[in-house]
Amino acid sequence: MLRFILTRVSLVIPTFLGITFLTFILIRLVPGDPIEVRTGERGIAPERLAELRHEMGLDRPLWHQFLDYVGNVLHGDFGLSLITHNSVLSEFLTLFPATLELALCAMLFATLVGLPAGILAAVKRGSLFDHGVMGASLTGYSMPIFWWGLLLILFFSVGLGWTPVSGRLDLVYYVEPDTGFMLIDTLKAGDYEAFRSALGHLVLPTIVLGTVPLAVVARMTRSAMLEVLGEDYIRTARAKGLASGRVIGMHALRNALIPVVTVIGLQVGTLLGGAILTETIFSWPGVGKWLIESINRRDYPALQGGVLLIATSVILVNLLVDVLYGVLNPRIRHAR
């Protein structure tokens, strides 16, 4: 068991180093110099330029810069933002809970809707409901979510006035950030009005970000259920007279869940990528919007650090899913 976990963890290290190298090298490919960006059009004295370059380590050979970078990263130093001069890591960590809250809600939404829809579609195979679920999930999978978000805003926020257009909380409320999760912070503060406001702000972004995972979960659940429902032990269970609900819930679903759980784990990347679009549309103050702003402001240390941190979280979640999967399923643990 420990051996299995250690193997998995050790496999992650080269990937992590590779990502670090990739982000490092990508940023060097940017035309223009970070100092030029900083000084703008006015120009800078050559001596001062050399001084600054030396200060930032830009005059050292590339491989040296990379080693410096890896060393800094391992010490939690992701550099300073060129614009705000704050540490990239601290900026990321203040914004990350907002993204995480949104992503978790989206995943919850996708699972809570997608799982039952997939199960029902499989049980009622070939019915109108089945066709409806399959059609809807294929549409959801094909959806340009930035457009989908705009449509929802147009309909629910502008047209019906049910939900706010952007942000995480109405300006009239202020809640001391504690966990960074607005829903939890407002409840902790005992401010139920603010909680409702936070919930209202979450609804549309959750739907938008959850649409693609929802489609994937529904489709995967349906096909996994169909496969399991054709197995002999299901026929046995039915033949010995078990109620249909019990056969589906106890015997079929448990075995169908394995691929579904994997797929849910794999959606983390989709969620964090989709967060870039969702947060931009809804002005959600998370890391996705921050990354796009960093790009527009040519704040390369922020971009570099942000990408590395997001990639690291994706790797860690995938590792976690991998290990959990091995813990739950001995066949995988002993496969290699």
Partner 1 sequence: MSAELSTNTETAVTVSRPPHPLTEFWYHFKQNKGALGGLVVIALIALIAIFAGVVAPHDPDIQYRDAILTPPVWQEGGSWSYILGTDDIGRDMLSRLMYGARLSMMIGLIVVTLSLAVGLGLGLVAGFFGGMADVLIMRAMDILLALPSLLLAVVVAAILGPGLVNAMLAVSVVVIPHYARLTRAAVLAEVNKDYVVASRVAGAGPLRLMLIVVLPNCVAPLIVQATLGFSTAILDAAALGFLGLGAQPPTPEWGTMLASSLQFLQRAPWVVTWPGIAILVTVLAFNLLGDGLRDALDPKLKR
Instruction: Based on the shown chain and the rule CB under 8 A, indicate whether residue 88 belongs to the binding site for partner 1.
Output: no
Contact of 335 with 32, CB cutoff 8 Å = no
Contact of 141 with 213, CB cutoff 8 Å = no
Taking the least distance from each CB to partner 1, the nearer of 23 and 197 is 23
Q: Give the nearest distance from C-beta 60 to partner 1 in angstroms.
A: 21
Instruction: Based on the shown chain and the rule CB under 8 A, indicate whether residue 156 belongs to the binding site for partner 1.
Output: no
**Cα–Cα dist 152/208, whole Å:** 8
Q: Which of 27, 113, 234, 323 binds partner 1 (CB under 8 A)?
A: 27
Stretch that binds partner 1, among 168-176, 225-233, 244-252, 295-303 (CB under 8 A): 295-303
Region for residue 36 given its phi and psi (left: phi exceeds 0; alpha: psi -120 to 50; beta: otherwise): alpha
Q: Which residues are CB-contacts of 81 (< 8 A; sequence separation ≥ 6)?
A: 87, 88, 91, 294, 299, 301, 302
Instruction: Based on the shown chain and the rule CB under 8 A, indicate whether residue 315 belongs to the binding site for partner 1.
Output: yes
SS3 (DSSP) at 47: helix
**Cα–Cα dist 192/62, whole Å:** 54
Phi and psi of 275, rounded to 5°?
Answer: -60, -30
Q: Which of 9, 13, 26, 67 binds partner 1 (CB under 8 A)?
A: 26
Count of residues engaged in binding partner 1, rule: CB under 8 A: 44
Instruction: Based on the shown chain and the rule CB under 8 A, indicate whether residue 107 belongs to the binding site for partner 1.
Output: no
Taking the least distance from each CB to partner 1, the nearer of 23 and 81 is 23
**Cα–Cα dist 57/122, whole Å:** 60
Q: In the complex, which residues of this chain contact partner 1 (CB under 8 A)?
A: 14-15, 18-19, 22-23, 26-27, 29-31, 138-139, 141-144, 146-148, 150-151, 153-154, 158, 269-270, 272-274, 276-277, 280, 291-292, 295-296, 303, 307, 310-311, 314-315, 318
